[in-house]
């Protein structure tokens, strides 16, 4: 069963995060807890997530730009990673009350990042995420930048061997975040992309032993 089928079967409401430039969805607390149970039962580790508020159908970041992350430990068995990441996610999500305060009726929403198989995760992910957080194109506070771009990491890792494909991927990331073409075509944006590609290429060279199936 896919996550889409699971949400439909359990009548879980999904809240698109596109207005914030994010490719993904968020869920109210009770539904988020159901979803992380589904991930645990299907051996999908949870790599992190973010917290948002919603009021009058408008989704916003929390005041503290809250979120969490859980990277796989070195030599950690997959099932151990699944269980540990579930416990971290459950504790984090469950620690939030339904509303921020009695006088603030904005409800919390939670986005959840995950991977399905060991082949979908490798040790280069945190390094790529660190570069994306440093780039931080939507200029969120650093605390949330550390988690904000996790959903894009697999696509960038898949493109990291080909400069043309990598550039196209990074431009697609900007478009997905809502950047207009006139901004994307600006000299500064092109220079930022060039710098980013250079950093990722260096990672590609120095981190070849981290990428499954690649001979250093």
Is residue 214 in a domain?
Answer: no
| Pair (10, 91) in one structural domain | yes
Degrees to nearest 5, angle at CA 31 with 50 and 128: 30
| Pair (108, 128) in one structural domain | no
| Pair (88, 152) in one structural domain | no
- Tens-place pLDDT, residues 137-194: 888 888 788 878 877 887 787 778 788 888 888 888 888 778 888 888 899 999 999 9
| Cβ–Cβ under 8 Å, residues 142 and 135 | no
Q: Which residue, 114, 148, 167, sits at the end of a domain?
A: 114
Structure tokens at 206: 């120095």
CB-hemisphere CA count at 13 Å for 146? 10
Structure tokens at 151: 């959903």
Cross-strand bridge partners of residue 60? 53
| Pair (60, 141) in one structural domain | no
Is residue 215 in a domain?
Answer: no
The pLDDT confidence band at residue 54, using thresholds 50, 70 and 90, is confident
| Pair (19, 100) in one structural domain | yes
Question: 70 phi and psi, to 5 degrees?
Answer: -150, 100
Using a cut of 0.85, tell me whether the model's pTM lies above it: no
- Tens-place pLDDT, residues 107-153: 889 999 888 877 666 667 788 888 999 999 888 888 788 878 877 88
- Compute CA distances 126 → 21, 68, 187, whole Å: 21, 13, 29
Look at the chain and report how many structural domains it folds into. Answer: 2
| Pair (90, 43) in one structural domain | yes
- Which range of residues forms the domain containing residue 159? 124-209
Is residue 87 in a domain?
Answer: yes
| Pair (7, 105) in one structural domain | yes
Position 77 scores a pLDDT of: 92
Q: Which residue, 69, 92, 114, sits at the end of a domain?
A: 114
| Pair (8, 50) in one structural domain | yes
| Cβ–Cβ under 8 Å, residues 174 and 182 | no
Is residue 216 in a domain?
Answer: no
| Pair (73, 156) in one structural domain | no
Structure tokens at 55: 């009021």
| Cβ–Cβ under 8 Å, residues 206 and 127 | no
- The SS3 call for residue 50 is strand
Q: Which residue, 114, 143, 171, sits at the end of a domain?
A: 114
């Amino acid at each position: 069963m896919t996550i889409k089928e699971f949400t439909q079967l359990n009548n879980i409401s999904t809240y698109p995060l596109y207005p914030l430039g994010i490719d993904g969805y968020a869920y109210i607390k009770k539904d988020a807890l159901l979803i992380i149970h589904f991930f645990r039962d299907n051996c999908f580790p949870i790599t992190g997530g973010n917290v948002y508020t919603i009021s009058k159908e408008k989704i916003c970041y929390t005041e503290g730009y809250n979120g969490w992350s859980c990277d796989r430990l070195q030599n950690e068995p997959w099932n151990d990673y699944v269980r540990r990441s579930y416990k971290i996610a459950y504790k984090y999500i469950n620690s939030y009350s339904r509303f921020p305060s009695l006088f603030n009726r904005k409800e919390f929403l939670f986005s959840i990042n995950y991977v399905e198989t060991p082949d979908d995760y490798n040790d280069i992910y945190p390094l790529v995420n660190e570069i994306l957080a440093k780039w931080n194109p939507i200029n969120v506070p650093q605390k949330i930048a550390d988690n904000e771009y996790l959903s894009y990491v697999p696509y960038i890792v898949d493109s990291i061997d080909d400069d043309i494909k990598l550039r196209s991927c990074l431009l697609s990331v900007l478009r997905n975040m809502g950047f207009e073409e006139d901004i994307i075509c600006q000299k500064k944006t092109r220079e930022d992309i060039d710098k980013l590609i250079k950093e990722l290429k260096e990672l590609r060279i120095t981190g070849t032993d981290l990428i499954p199936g690649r001979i250093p």
